[in-house]
Amino acid sequence: MSEGAPSTVCVRAADWVIAWDEARQAHVYLRGVDVAFAGDRIVHVGPKFSGPCSEEIDGAGLMVMPGLINAHTHPSNQPSFKGVREELGNQNFYQSGLYDGRTAFAADEDQRHWNARFAYWEMLRSGVTTVVDMSFPYPGWVEAAAESGIRVYFAPLFESRHWSVPNPHTLAYVDESDGGAAAFRKAMDTIEEAERNNSGRLHGMIAPMAVDTCDKGLLLEALQTAREKKYPIHLHAGEAVMEFLEITRRYGKTQIQWLEELNFLGPDVSIGHGLFLGHHSWLSWGFRDDLKILAQTGTAVSHCPTVFGRYGITMENFGAYARAGIPLGIGTDTHPHNIIEEMRHAIIAGRIADKRIAGGRTIDSFNAATIGGARIALRPDLGRLEVGAKADLVLVELTDPSMMPIYDPIRSLVFTAADRAVRDVYVDGKIALKNRVAPGIDIGDVAEKVQIMQRRAAARTQERDHSKRTAAEIAPLTLPLG
């Protein structure tokens, strides 16, 4: 090996490899082949690699697959909601706990980096190598992301107005005095700070908060900035019935119709959730061609089934969106940040909503977590194993009992094993998870910090809740204390 050349790691004769077939434009299984990467790029996928290797990994009993992409999540607040939000919903808001839950149990801003670290660890454990992190800027965000070893798309949130819940049956909007201009500047400053980090794994995404919290002017300014700087764009839309009702009240059209009117949609745009659009059965709305608009404009949808399933809500339906030709990504949105379980829930919920097995296919879910997420990030070098792609890859332990017996390893992983079988994770060719341990995250210390944060938040819910409820009243324990 020449002096100064990057070291080459080779996985020898892996039992199964999920490789990218350029001719088919699809993932394919390969058996007993080598996967090699040098520096941050894959250099070989196929029969025996003859080049020099600085490290060889015995591929017997392993599956090599591309790193998974979490296309929508909020790591700065979700871990401290564990045990609280799972049964928190509001019948007055069509079952959603979104609005009440955003205020109760809120973590202190200067402590949110512990939540982020916990979430990044959960993601690595389930094979995520890239995450779209949508958070309102907070101290320590860049440091937490850089230390984790994961690839992070910083999507700092900003808005023209924010939600307010003055009582259990009213959703109000409180305008920002400057229309969100300062928040947008702060978001751009945060992205610039992240991209200056020497890890090389921190990138930017423009993320106006939501279709109902952003004015036309702010959306168009964000769109123009994103396209000038060639950043991907992400916007919450179709997240709740309350949002749909508000947009149709303001504009007399669906969220997707209004965004199309603004020329906001396109291949560089992804919509967070996209459930409650004109066709959803809960709405009985006359216009039902939102999916056609999304497909025609090439606009992606990041689907997060778990958080909605907990409210009794589902997309109608995952299979229909895929068949319509809409680019799809998968996100966790909430805890646990287990992308493989999220893939399973997307399949099953899609089948239930469609009342047939075609409502959710395993391949659609796997594509969403790989090439679909790469599309959302505008990164054709992610989410696939091929020469020249980024060396973001996952080693799955096929000998873990949760994977056995093996007929189709993707199905075994998605429907049964999930994170239990994920052994090693590489990001940019560097180890981010080794033998199920993330060297960049002291998870024992982080978990203790998150526990303290949750206790502090629980102690002050009466100060924040619209009805002055205690933590025990907001989220009663499953069993009474004896």
Within a domain: 353:
yes
pLDDT given at position 280:
98
Average of per-residue pLDDT values in the chain = 96
Provide the residue range defining the domain that includes 21: 8-66+386-433
In-domain check, residue 74: yes
Same domain membership, residue 391 and residue 344? no
Instruction: Return left, alpha or beta for 436; rule: phi > 0 is left, psi -120 to 50 is alpha, else beta.
Output: left
452 is a domain residue: no
How crowded is residue 110: how many other Cβ atoms within 10 Å of its Cβ? Answer: 10
Handedness of CA 339, 340, 346, 349 (dihedral sign): negative
| 23 belongs to a structural domain | yes
Ranges of the chain whose pLDDT falls below 70: 1-4, 101-104
CB 115 within 8 A of CB 335: no
Q: What's the pLDDT score for residue 467?
A: 87
pLDDT at 104: 66
Q: Is residue 454 part of a domain?
A: no
Do 136 and 280 reside in the same domain of the chain? yes
For residues 81 and 55, state if they share a domain: no
Q: In what order do the strands lie in the sheet with 300-303?
A: 233-237, 269-273, 300-303, 328-330
Residue 252 neighbours by CB under 8 Å, 6+ apart = none
Give the whole-angstrom CA distance, residue 201 versus residue 44: 22
**Interhelix angle 112-125/141-148, nearest 10 degrees:** 20
Q: What is the model's pLDDT at position 3?
A: 55
**Together in a domain, 172 and 200:** yes
Q: Would you call the peptide bond into 435 cis, given omega within 30 degrees of 0 as the criterion?
A: no
d(CA 474, CA 119) in angstroms, rounded, equals 24
User: For residue 197, which amino acid is it?
Assistant: N
| The predicted structure's pLDDT at residue 4 | 64
Q: Are residues 117 and 94 in the same domain?
A: yes
307 and 402 part of one domain: no
3-state secondary structure 415-466: HHHHHHHEEEEEECCEEEEECCECCCCCHHHHHHHHHHHHHHHHHCHHHHCC
Whether residue 150 is found in the same domain as residue 74: yes
Residues 413 and 367 in one domain: no
Domain count of the fold of the chain: 2
Q: What percent of the chain has pLDDT over 70?
A: 98
Same domain, 245 and 121: yes
Phi-psi map region of 136: left, alpha, beta (phi>0 left; psi -120 to 50 alpha): beta
Q: Quick one: 60 and 75 in the same domain? A: no
- For position 86, which CATH number holds? 3.20.20.140
Domain of 429: which CATH number? 2.30.40.10
pTM over 0.95: yes
In-domain check, residue 467: no
280 with 311, same domain: the answer is yes
User: Do the beta carbons of residue 274 and residue 327 sit within 8 Å?
Assistant: no
Do 74 and 59 share a structural domain?
no
Q: Is 441 within a domain?
A: no
Task: Tell me if 461 is assigned to some domain.
Answer: no
How many Cβ atoms from other residues are within 10 Å of residue 434's Cβ? 13
